[in-house]
Amino acid sequence: MLKALLWDVDGTLAETERDGHRVAFNRAFATAGVPWRWDEAYYGELLQVSGGRERLLHDMSRRADAPDAQQERVALAAQLHGLKNSFYEEIVRGGELRLRAGVSELFADCLQAGVRLAIATTTSGGNVEALLGQHLGSAWRSQFAAVLCAEEAPRKKPDPQVYQLALAQLQLRPQEVVAMEDAPAGVMAAGAVDIKVVVAHSYYFPAPAYGRALASGPSLGSGAGWQPRAAVSAQRITLEQIVRWQKRTAGERRAS
Ligand code: XBP
């Protein structure tokens, strides 16, 4: 019985990384007078590290021109991260980052069917507020039964903390929810607490090996290219389709 969909944010709700966070980091570097720039390819490598502040510290650990003292690095990362998040909000409020295809429709399916929506992300709460406020309006929180971000779950994915908290807050068991993710760290985080995952590939995570996914495919906005296959007539990934995948997996588990 599916009672809630738990949504990752960056890469899943919207393609926020390349044209949002990355651009905002570069603006923060320029504003702070730091001579660093992250191009698209290098940012893809940095995405192995979850969390913007953690990503900055990781990058500094590889740079000869970063401050030597750890304390200074931490302070610089905090300053740059704060600036980055302000620039990110500016980009979002400028309307440059749209929700990915099929996301709004799946939200609507859930609200209509009484399946709860929740956010389970390692990004900062302000970024989620900006993105969903922009697209769903200022009352967006009323549509979500739980909103768990970096502030609530400081241990970033692949640590399962954010999913553990989501289950506790919703008072649901893993088999009653499905997570919506795009990246391996998210799939691992959910899998670590036995939550099944639907993976919509994203710009930076296009064709990964997701052995543990309930289903994976290129876009929630299309029924094509999904593994396992979506219903032949599917124009998009509906709630009904996710329930079908969930039942199929439960059936396989019983049979084995
Ligand atoms: C994505 C992240 C975040 C963002 C930047 O989290 O790892 O770090 O890139 O956000 P998710 P912050 O996929 O769980 O949404 O700078 O706020 O950390």
Q: Can you tell me which atom of ligand 1 is nearest the CA of 181?
A: 13
Query: What pLDDT does residue 210 have?
Result: 62
Report the residue among 8, 9, 10, 15 best suited for mutation to probe ligand 1: largest number of ligand atoms under 8 A from its CB: 10
Q: Tokens 């738990």 appear where?
A: 6
Report the residue among 15, 16, 17, 21 best suited for mutation to probe ligand 1: largest number of ligand atoms under 8 A from its CB: 21
For ligand 1, say whether the CB of 124 is within 6 Å of any of its atoms.
yes
Specify whether 182 is catalytic.
Answer: no
Residue 207 pLDDT > 90: no
> How many Cα atoms sit within 13 Å of 74 on the Cβ side?
3
Average pLDDT score over residue span 15-23: 97
Alpha carbon distance 173, 5 (integer Å): 12
Q: How sure is the predictor about 211, in pLDDT bands with cuts at 50, 70 and 90?
A: low
Query: What pLDDT does residue 234 have?
Result: 83
Structure tokens at 224: 């094509």
Give residue-wise pLDDT tens across range 41-85.
999 999 999 999 999 999 999 999 999 999 999 999 999 999 999
In the reported structure, the alpha carbon of residue 21 is separated from the centroid of ligand 1 by a whole-number distance in angstroms of 8
Higher per-residue confidence, 168 vs 248: 168
Average pLDDT score over residue span 139-152: 98
Domains, the chain? 4-15+99-255 (3.40.50.1000), 17-93 (1.10.150.240)
Specify whether 8 is catalytic.
Answer: yes
Q: Tokens 């007539």 appear where?
A: 233
Average pLDDT score over residue span 153-170: 97
256-to-194, 214, 228 alpha-carbon distances in Å: 17, 17, 18
Q: Can you tell me which atom of ligand 1 is nearest the CA of 182?
A: 13
Alpha carbon distance 6, 190 (integer Å): 10
